[in-house]
Amino acid sequence: MTNGLLNSFPDEIIQCILACATPISAVKLGQASKKFWSITNTPLLWRFYCRQYFEYWDDRHCILEKFALPVSLVDWKELYKLRHLIDVAVTELLESILACQTGRIEKFHKIISFGYDAKDTLLRHAEAGFEYQDHLARRNAALGCLHRSIAISEWSRVRNGEDIPLERALGAFDLFVLEAGTGDLEDVRAYQLNFVDLANLKRYHKIWKILLPGSRPTFVLSGTSALV
């Protein structure tokens, strides 16, 4: 599609097209003219790219708080650029680990230093297909180390007296089992809370079943009379 044809489109149509394009395509289009530069540099577009391309964010970004802010208060393009550079760095480090045996520990430490910002990249490599001869090595190379590092960090916060929710501290144990799987501490915490809710529901249902069929109306009536 030529720039001349795109120039004939309303800005809203171009923005819809960009939502289906890649961020790299948006950057290239923005270099074509002042009009395209303005359209491709809207905070709304780059917030969409941040949501679309990155699921896991390190705590230092306070990403949930940023998503709740008015879109113009956050430099979303710069944030996407940071995550893209981390993605490139993690990919290069991982490929270097798989290609060469020297310096592996230092490279693992560099990957882990990115925290959860590295997880999207590691998951993509963990899901590498059979077209990669080293697909099994990619699957298990660094994601397990990242999970264990995050778990240890949580326990260090507990030891230092920080106010950490109990389910989060206990969920750190699950990160050791998670290894190369998906999910994070928030997923583990949500599962724990759902499990507690289900356990309470089953407990109340068991109490209700203990009551004899003939006693259930009496139970209801007695409760009703107590309110009168």
Residue 219 near residue 211 (C-beta atoms within 8 A):
yes
The pLDDT value recorded for residue 5 is 75
Record the tokens describing residue 75, joined without a space: 């430099």
What's the CA gap between 7 and 10, in Å, rounded? Answer: 8
Count CA atoms closer than 13 A to 174's CA, side-chain side.
17
- Collect all residues with Cβ–Cβ distance below 8 Å to 107 and sequence separation of at least 6: 93, 96, 97
User: Which helix H or strand E contains 227, and what residues bound it?
Assistant: helix 215-227
Q: What is the model's pLDDT at position 175?
A: 73
Q: Write down the mean pLDDT value for the chain.
A: 78
Question: Which of the pair, 48 or 59, is modelled with greater confidence?
Answer: 48
**Whole-angstrom distance, CA of residue 168 vs CA of residue 89:** 29
pTM over 0.75: no
Q: Which of 31-45, 66-80, 91-105, 162-176 has the highest mean pLDDT?
A: 66-80
Does the pLDDT at position 101 exceed 50? yes
